[in-house]
Amino acid sequence: MKTASDPRHRRRQRFIKWLFAYSFQPQKNLPQALKKLIEMLPKVDEQIRKAAPQFPLEKINKIDLSILRLAVFELTYQRTQPKKVIIDEAVELGKEFGSENSPKFINGVLGTILKNKKLAKSC
């Protein structure tokens, strides 16, 4: 069971804070794993756009966007954790850092991305 002191959860918290700061101004001295995510941002953002076309990226709450970016990167490119764990963590981070609607929005976008990936694989 995940706890607040779980090192993976704490690592994700730090990554969200760095991504949030990066959304306002590019940062220096980022961890290597985060540099990989930054390199993949155009592809990650495109998946978010497709999953939530009614919400332009510029209109999405910056903390929610940071959480989504990390989760999409983990789901699509890193793939070191089970999908359900990544989504659960993203929802928990939404509860911790986001607004009242963040968990539901994050869960919906990530669920749509997974559904789209399954459809693409079946074609």
User: pLDDT per residue over 62-108, tens digit each?
Assistant: 999 999 999 999 999 888 889 999 999 999 999 999 999 999 999 99
* % the chain with pLDDT above 70: 93
Are the beta carbons of 97 and 31 closer than 8 angstroms?
Answer: no
* Residues ≥6 apart with Cβ < 8 Å to 9: 2, 3, 89, 92
Rounded-to-integer distance, Cα 94 and Cα 64, Å:
7
Coil, strand or helix at 68: helix
Please check the confidence at residue 50 and state whether its pLDDT lies above 70. Answer: yes
Q: What is the mean pLDDT of residues 36-61?
A: 94
Domain covering 7-122, topology: N-utilizing Substance Protein B Homolog; Chain A (1.10.940)
Are the beta carbons of 36 and 75 closer than 8 angstroms?
Answer: no
Q: Which residue has the tokens 């994700």?
A: 12
Domain boundary assignment for the chain: 7-122
The full length of the chain comes to: 123
Q: What letter does residue 54 receive in the DSSP assignment?
A: T
Please check the confidence at residue 36 and state whether its pLDDT lies above 60. Answer: yes
- The pLDDT score that the predictor gives to residue 3 is 63
* % the chain with pLDDT above 90: 67
